Amino acid sequence: MRTQVVIVGAGPAGLLLSHLLGLEGIESVLVERQTAEHVQARIRAGMLEAGTVELLRSVGLGDRLDVEGMEHRGIHLQWPGERHHLDFVDLVGRSVTIYGQTEITKDLMVAREKAGHPAYYSTSDLAVHDVTERPYVTFVDSSGKPQRVDADVVVGCDGFHGPSRLSIPSPEVGERTYPFAWLGVLADVAPSSDELIYAWHPDGFAMHSMRSPRVSRFYLQVAPDEDIEQWSDDRIWTALSTRLGLSGWTLQTGTITEKSVLPMRSFVSTPMRHGNLYLAGDAAHIVPPTGAKGLNLAVADVGLLARALTASFRGDDSLADAYSETALRRVWRCTHFSWWMTSMLHRHGDDFDVQLQLAQLRRTVSSEAAATELADNYSGLPL
């Protein structure tokens, strides 16, 4: 098989890139190791930056988002006895939207089916070859038949464990592993807050989020090696009620439908291009989820790369040549913001660190300049 672009990985980044290229008349083939059902069901990010929402709308993917997405003007920052609201619209003129990654994936899969672009799911033995000359991808399809797809360009949207990044010789890697993790909980209960709550607490960080008017998402700071079997539903609700507790406010509880332990790390691999291979999303960088940047960074990569590849196929290689450097400027800015939010809100270190964290929180909610800096980064820098 021959195509213009082979996209390795059919998560939101790969699906969106294929959609954007298709609108410009550029052919692509998607190759994914997991089943379509597994990709669609993965519960990940849920907060969309203003620029992400604008991009999805501009390419015909905003119909369900506009109906079911929950627009938020800002977030709440909390520590024991105090909760403060930061209004992003007042501060920087931008809002954020709650719309789960599972929903974005559904929208993208429907769009791809309508467009009729080829996609292979449930593949094995996937490998990327000859990326500096005539790139191609080999794999075994779901029926057990070996396949080869030749292309002008290969794009790795295959996450941290995918094969694409391994095709870049001697990359420079920056990494920070955090001494804590998140216990993530999905519950069938209406949100107890109008907007997200980020709570510092002596027992550890807690977060109240949501996926819809009927489904809430919660996170608790735990140890990286935490045994999830030790966390009964009652223990989870008790910990959330304690860490999110505030006089005059009650946390509503309900049926917990999913729980998992999420390790936290910062990871950046450079460059994001080698020959005719380009990386996007988690294949090149991972951020802790505190700053809600993972999916939004992937969308930013893909939006930039789609423009670069479109121009390249039309004879102008300048954007493609600058892709890695341009993308990494945003990656490092968001990596810093995610590190900063994580360091400020999670219990770690000694009592000296506690006072530094509380001083930073008080500064953030009392200074318009500090609040504006958080709002500007959280709501999303221009794509």
Q: Where are the beta strands (DSSP E) in the chain?
A: 5-8, 28-31, 47-48, 70-72, 74-79, 82-87, 96-98, 119-120, 124-129, 136-140, 146-150, 153-156, 172-188, 197-199, 206-212, 215-222, 255-270, 273-274, 277-279, 285-286
The answer to whether residue 378 is catalytic is: yes
Q: Which two tokens stand for residue 319?
A: 């954007």
Q: Which two tokens stand for residue 130?
A: 């000859």
- Catalytic, out of 274, 289, 323, 346: 289
Cβ–Cβ contacts within 10 Å for residue 245, how many? 16
CA–CA distance, 267 with 287 (Å, rounded to integer): 7
Residue type, 186: L
- Catalytic, out of 76, 208, 293, 346: 293
The answer to whether residue 99 is catalytic is: no
Instruction: Please report, to the nearest 10 degrees, the dihedral formed by the alpha carbons of residues 257, 52, 68, 35 taken in order.
Output: -50
Handedness of CA 94, 209, 84, 357 (dihedral sign): negative
CA–CA distance, 381 with 204 (Å, rounded to integer): 29
- Catalytic, out of 19, 72, 274, 346: 72
The answer to whether residue 198 is catalytic is: yes
**Cis omega before residue 213 (within 30°)?**
no
β-pairing verdict for 119-120 and 197-199: unpaired
Phi, psi (5° rounding) for residue 145? -95, 130
Cβ–Cβ contacts within 10 Å for residue 237, how many? 19
The answer to whether residue 178 is catalytic is: no
The answer to whether residue 259 is catalytic is: no
User: Do residues 243 and 220 lie in contact, with contact meaning Cβ atoms separated by under 8 Å?
Assistant: yes
CA–CA distance, 208 with 203 (Å, rounded to integer): 16
- Catalytic, out of 198, 219, 278, 323: 198
CA–CA distance, 217 with 208 (Å, rounded to integer): 6
Q: Name the residues annotated as catalytic.
A: 72, 198, 289, 293, 378
